[in-house]
């Protein structure tokens, strides 16, 4: 009787408080704490040359025949630059910022604006399209990094906040709850998304998702919508996944993922019954790649992988995430269901082929707009050079300077370069607005001035 009265009294007081206008949740302190760490990101993609504006091949052959060095192609007819915007957040006091890979993809210029209105040109350290995570860097002081939370501690139904720049409205704050965890989206096999109903719109991409302690638990990445705008389905990349990618990019210039070498499908009730399983969990192996880590471990077609390295496989989506997170070369214990019984196998995890845009080692210097690849020793010998990288694409500042695909950049000033990392380092010259690139085009070599601003 007393307990019932106490419960009734508590409920009555809550209703009265709400009726008197008391806010159910107060986000003000959380927002004040977090906003200085959130940044606005604007990007510029230079227009490509319009058709017919490149020098005709006959003209090039004419110049070559008479020994006249080919002049850089003028910028007449270039398309209009494309501008984009997004969000990000500071993860270290020395200027590292996390955002989405799609926010800075193909950008020739990346500008970061802080909460105190300061603006900085950013350098893209690396990006990973697979997880949609990018790490960029600014040279700034008095920065306030975010606090990193633990997404595994999130509970469905708890409050979360999103901060970003939807449609250009800076530092917009929206609130919602965690709708679900571990969501899988089409073509997204390596991210267990956090689903929320916090309003997220174009421009929010790359901004933080915060728990009620003011800790970042995710990066707002995408929405599911029939209208192109917010419809209550927002998805964030768990911050532990994002930080793992960022740390690999920072340390190695690329992202390494484990590889098993199997094709799999989901288990439904009918398939579970046909294979003698009591529940619809696991990943059904439909194909094993010859000579792959799975093949060498003894995994066979029609096996059902029910556990990977001590972790249960509830759905087939769990397996790519766990394998991808494994360190290449490590050993993984795999439990399979085969012919009505479990078997324990051990696989030595392979390495997935890395994406070309995974990091600085594969060569995009966004500061200059150059995408390059290293030259093999035999190619250098044929060309009669001791150093150099092959230009695969030139946009932005590099294109304006007249650099073209097929050119070979042998040095920056008097610093020889042999790969993308060396090129990016040589271009990162503080206090100088112009550098000289030693460029070999055909049979001729010359220095080309490249402005860095």
State the catalytic residues: 102, 132, 205
What is the separation, in whole angstroms, between the first and last Cα of the chain?
A: 77
Residue 156 Cα to chain centre, angstroms: 26
Provide CB contacts within 8 A for 151, sequence distance 6+.
181, 194, 217, 218, 238, 239, 240
Closest CA to 96 of 130, 37, 137, 55: 137
* Residue pair 420/396 in contact by the 8 Å Cβ criterion: no
Reduced DSSP (H G I as helix, E B as strand, rest coil) percent helix, strand, coil of the chain, to 5: 25, 35, 40
Q: What is the DSSP string of 368-397?
A: TTEEEEEPPHHHHHHHT-SS-EEEEEE-HH
The helix or strand, by DSSP H or E, that contains position 258, with its residue range, turns out to be strand 258-259
Separation of alpha carbons 11 and 310, rounded Å:
45
Q: State the sign of the Cα–Cα–Cα–Cα dihedral 237, 173, 26, 93.
A: positive
Instruction: Tell which residue, 451, 255, 219, has the closest CA to residue 352.
Output: 255
| Residue 61 in tokens | 């052959």
- Cα–Cα distance for residue pair 116/113, rounded to 1 Å: 8
Q: Are 53 and 78 in contact (CB under 8 A)?
A: yes
Give the C-alpha separation, 110 to 107, whole Å.
7
What is d(CA 86, CA 80) in angstroms, rounded to the nearest whole number? Answer: 20
Rg, Å, the chain Cα set:
27
What is the b/e burial string over 276-287, where b = at least 16 CB atoms within 10 angstroms of the residue's CB?
ebeeebbbbbee
């Amino acid at each position: 009787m007393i307990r019932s009265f106490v419960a009734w009294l508590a409920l009555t007081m809550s209703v009265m408080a709400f009726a008197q206008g008391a806010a159910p949740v107060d986000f003000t302190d959380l927002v004040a704490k977090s906003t200085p760490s959130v940044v606005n990101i604007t990007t510029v993609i230079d227009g490509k040359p319009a058709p017919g504006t490149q020098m005709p091949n006959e003209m090039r052959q004419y110049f070559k025949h008479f020994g006249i060095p080919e002049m850089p192609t003028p910028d007449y007819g270039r398309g209009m630059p494309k501008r984009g915007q997004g969000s990000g957040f500071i993860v270290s006091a020395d200027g590292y910022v996390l955002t989405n890979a799609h926010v800075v993809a193909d950008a020739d210029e990346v500008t970061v604006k802080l909460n105190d209105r300061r603006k900085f040109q950013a350098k893209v350290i690396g990006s990973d399209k697979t997880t949609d995570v990018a790490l960029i860097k600014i040279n700034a002081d008095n920065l306030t990094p975010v606090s990193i939370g633990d997404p595994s501690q999130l509970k469905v139904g708890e409050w979360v906040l999103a901060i970003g720049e939807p449609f250009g409205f800076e530092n917009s704050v929206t609130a919602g709850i965690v709708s679900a965890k571990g969501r899988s989206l089409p073509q997204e096999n390596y991210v267990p998304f956090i689903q929320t109903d916090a309003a997220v719109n174009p421009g929010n991409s790359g901004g933080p998702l915060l728990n009620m302690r003011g800790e970042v638990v995710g990066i707002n990445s995408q929405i599911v919508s029939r209208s192109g705008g917010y419809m209550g389905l927002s998805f964030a990349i768990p911050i532990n996944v994002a930080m793992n990618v960022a740390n690999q990019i920072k340390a190695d210039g690329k992202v390494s993922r484990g590889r098993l070498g199997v094709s799999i499908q989901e288990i439904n009730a009918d398939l579970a019954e046909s294979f003698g399983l009591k529940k619809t969990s696991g990943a059904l192996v439909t194909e094993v790649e010859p000579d792959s880590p799975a093949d060498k471990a003894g995994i066979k077609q029609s096996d059902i992988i029910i556990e990977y390295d001590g972790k249960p496989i509830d759905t087939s989506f769990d397996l790519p995430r766990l394998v991808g997170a494994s360190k290449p070369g490590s050993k993984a214990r795999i439990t399979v269901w085969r012919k009505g019984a479990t078997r324990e196998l051990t696989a030595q995890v392979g390495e997935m082929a890395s994406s070309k845009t995974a990091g600085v080692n594969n060569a995009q210097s966004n500061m200059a707009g150059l995408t390059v690849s290293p030259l093999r020793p035999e190619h250098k010998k044929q060309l009669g050079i001791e150093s150099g990288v092959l230009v695969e694409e030139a946009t932005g500042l590099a294109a304006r300077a007249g650099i073209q695909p097929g050119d070979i950049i042998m040095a920056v000033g008097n610093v020889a370069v042999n790969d993308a990392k060396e090129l990016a380092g040589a271009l990162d010259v503080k206090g100088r607005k112009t550098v000289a690139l030693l460029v070999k085009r055909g049979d001729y070599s010359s220095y080309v001035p490249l402005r860095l601003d």
